[in-house]
Amino acid sequence: MIRARKTAATVGLLTLGELIITQASFTASGSNRFAATLWLLLIPLATTIAGVLLERRWGRWLALAGAVAVLPWALVLTVAPLGLPILPQSVALAAAIVVLASLTGKTVAGRYETPSRAGSTSSRAGSTSKRMTLVTWTIVCNVASILMLYLFVGAYDYGVQWHLEMTATLLAGLLLGVLLLARDKTIGIVLVGLCCILLLPAGAYFVSREARYAGETVLLALAFLPGIVTGWACLLAFGRPMWRFLRGG
C-alpha cells in the first residue's frame, strides 16, 4: 500500500514538473524573468521527489505543500478558465489531488514521521497527536504560502518598488519561521503566527493596489488562506502553554 501511494505521489509530482517545464518554455520568449523563476522551481521539486521516495518527513511536507499551492489556482482556472486553455489546469488539478490523496492519512503519516512525532504512550497522547498534526499542516500550508510569495517576488511586475520589498520581507520571515518550526523550536510558532497576522493586511493592501481584475483577488485569497488559518490556529493552540512557561507557571 505504501509503495503504491509513493508511486502515485511521484507520478503526480512528475506531472507538475512537466507542466512547469512546458509553461517555462512557453513563456521564455515573452518573459525571461518569469521563465527563470519557473525553471528554478524544478530544483526543490526534484528534492521533494527524492524525499518522498526515501520516505523522509520533509519530503512528504514539501510534496503536500506543492499540492496545496497548486490546488486553488488549478481549481479556479479549471472552473473559470478566463480564456486560457483548460487542459493544463485540469492536469494540474488532477496531479495536486493525487499527491494530496496519496500522502495523507494515518498510515502514511506514521511511515514518514519520526517516532517522536508518530505518537506517544503518555496519557496525553491524543492531545499531543492533535497538536503535532496541527504543527505538520501549519508547516505544509505555510510552505505553500512561501512558494506563492516566491513566485510573486520572482515574477510579478510590481507597480511600486516597496510593495516588492514588503513581499520579500514576509517571504524571508515566513521561511525562517517554518524552518524553526520544523526543528521543533517554539520561536518558530511565534514567527510563523506573526507573519500570518501581517500577511492579511499586507495582502489586502497589495490586492487593492496591484490586482488587475476581481478573479486575481479571489485566487490570491484562496492561495494564502490555508497558511493564514493554520498559522493563527497553531499560535492559538500553543499560545497559552507558552505564556504559562514564560511566566514561570
pLDDT of residue 115 exceeding 60, the answer is no
User: In the chain, how many domains are there?
Assistant: 2
Final residue before a domain boundary, out of 91, 118, 145: 118
Nearest to 88 by CA among 15, 13, 150: 15
Same domain, 71 and 158: no
Q: Look at residue 119 in the predicted model and tell me its pLDDT.
A: 45
What does each C-alpha distance from 46 to 39, 40, 53 come to in angstroms?
12, 11, 11
Residue pair 224/203 in contact by the 8 Å Cβ criterion = yes
Given 60, 93, 118, which residue is the final one in a domain?
118
51-80 pLDDT, tens digit per residue, is 999 999 999 999 999 999 999 889 888 887
At 117, is the pLDDT very low, low, confident or very high (cuts 50, 70, 90)? very low
137 and 111 within one domain: no
pLDDT above 70 (res 121): no
Of 139, 199, 205, nearest in space to 171 by CA: 199
Mean pLDDT of the chain: 84
Same domain, 129 and 242: yes
In the prediction, which pLDDT does 122 show?
A: 42
Q: Which of 55, 85, 118 is the last residue of a domain?
A: 118
Query: Based on the domain organization, do 59 and 99 belong to the same domain?
Result: yes
In which domain, by residue range, is 64 found?
A: 1-118
- Residue 27: all three cell numbers together: 513563456
Residues 168 and 147 placed together within one structural domain of the fold: yes
pLDDT of residue 30: 55
Residues 169 and 223 in one domain: yes
Contact in structure between 192 and 142 (CB atoms under 8 Å): yes
Render pLDDT for 156-176 as a digit per residue (tens, 0 to 9): 666 666 667 887 888 899 999
Helix (H/G/I), strand (E/B), else coil: 113: coil
- One domain, residues 12 and 99: yes
What does the pLDDT average to over 13-28?
87
- Rounded to an integer, what distance in angstroms lies between the CA atom of residue 8 and that of residue 101? 9
Residues 182-214: tens digit of each pLDDT: 998 889 999 999 999 888 888 777 777 666 666
- Alpha helix stretches (DSSP H) within the chain: 2-27, 32-40, 42-53, 57-79, 86-103, 106-112, 115-118, 125-155, 161-182, 186-210, 214-246
Looking at residue 137, what is its pLDDT? Answer: 94
- Assess whether 98 and 139 both reside in one domain: no
My answer on whether 3 and 98 are in the same domain is: yes
Gap between the Cα atoms of 16 and 1, Å rounded? 23
pLDDT (0 to 100) of residue 244: 67
Q: How confident is the model at residue 233 (pLDDT cuts 50, 70, 90)?
A: very high
Residue type, 12: G
Same domain? For 246 and 173 the reply is yes
Smallest CA-to-CA distance from 192 within 230, 136, 246, 247 is with 230
